[in-house]
Amino acid sequence: MKHGNFNLMQVALMGEDECKKHLAFSRWGGTTVCPYCENDKCYTTKTGYKCAKCRRVFSVTVGTIFHDSRIKLTKWYIALYLITAHKKGISSHQLARDIDVTQKTAWYMLHRLRHTFKDNGYTEKLSKTVEVDETFVGGKNRNRHWNKKVPNSQGRSFKDKTPVFGMLQRGGKLRAQSVPDTKRKTLEPIILANVKKNAKVMSDEWTAYNKLYKNFTHKVVNHRRFQYVVGTAHTNTIEGFWSLFKRGILGIYHNVSRKHLDRYVDEFVYRYNTRNEKPEKRMKKVLQSKKQLSFKQLTK
């Protein structure tokens, strides 16, 4: 398989041994390293590897996102390709049909993969020109059946919705997360922690942004007055991401609980931040991750 030339057909045709070799190369390059003592002298055995120092036997999946999984790597690879390559993701029902597992197993697999997406290689603060905005995830009251309507839930009321806050550097990376509310005391510390102080910050007229001028060059567009672009000031880029995010939630996942919302946000953020990278590079970053998520942790 040629590096940088990955497609779904190639992934689907990979056998178990080829997946193991690819995972080993993604993890260690040409030198196997013991996941227990980090010794680089290991023997190859019939079932995996054995460390020459601590004498422990291990497989290529030990210490990876596939740790302690009985699902074949061939199925994991297909799931990883689909969730990173499909612009709006893939549902657990569809994945279950595609790789012949139960829906519950597919749901767990997808969440284990999403768990690796958070801050995957992108921890540097945003700079230059940064757009900030918030959105709300949840059904619209007018679309509900009369006996399921929530009273007084219009506008910024989020009795039945969950607010999600995002920051996007133009031409750069994106950060987003769910928040308990959209008040200044909630949003401003997040901006200060993620945006460099010499940056230009663009926002709408929401009152939570009123004091940003103290730390940033702050420009505002007033959407209530139908202002959408004033010179270089606009929030159109991040609103474009919200549109894609909501189309994925509504069209692919349909219903997302507050408990797991952040993982879905991380999924869309990761795909956005790697939008210009080739599929194998996207996959390689996930394969090199050591983040693990047990079913007990996921459902507690």
pLDDT tens readout for residues 121-169: 678 899 999 999 999 997 665 555 555 666 655 656 566 789 999 999 9
Amino acid at 292: Q
d(CA 65, CA 231): 46
Instruction: Indicate whether this model's pTM tops 0.75.
Output: yes
Sequence ranges of the domains in the chain: 8-120, 129-256
CB 188 within 8 A of CB 179: no
Instruction: Check if the beta carbon of residue 118 is closer than 8 Å to that of residue 266.
Output: yes
CA distance 188 to 165: 11
Q: What is the DSSP string of 163-221?
A: EEEEEEETTS-EEEEE-S---HHHHHHHHHHHB-TTSEEEE-S-GGGTTGGGTSEEEE-
pLDDT at 155: 58
Residues 203 and 186 sit within 8 Å (Cβ to Cβ): no
Residue 180: is it exposed, middle or buried by C-beta count within 10 angstroms (0-12/13-18/19+)?
A: exposed
The yes/no answer on whether domain 129-256 falls in CATH 3.30.420 is: yes
**Which of the residues in the chain have pLDDT under 70?**
1-6, 121, 139-159
Q: How far is CA 193 from CA 124, 127, 188, 286, in A?
A: 10, 12, 9, 25
| Residue 1 confidence (pLDDT) | 47
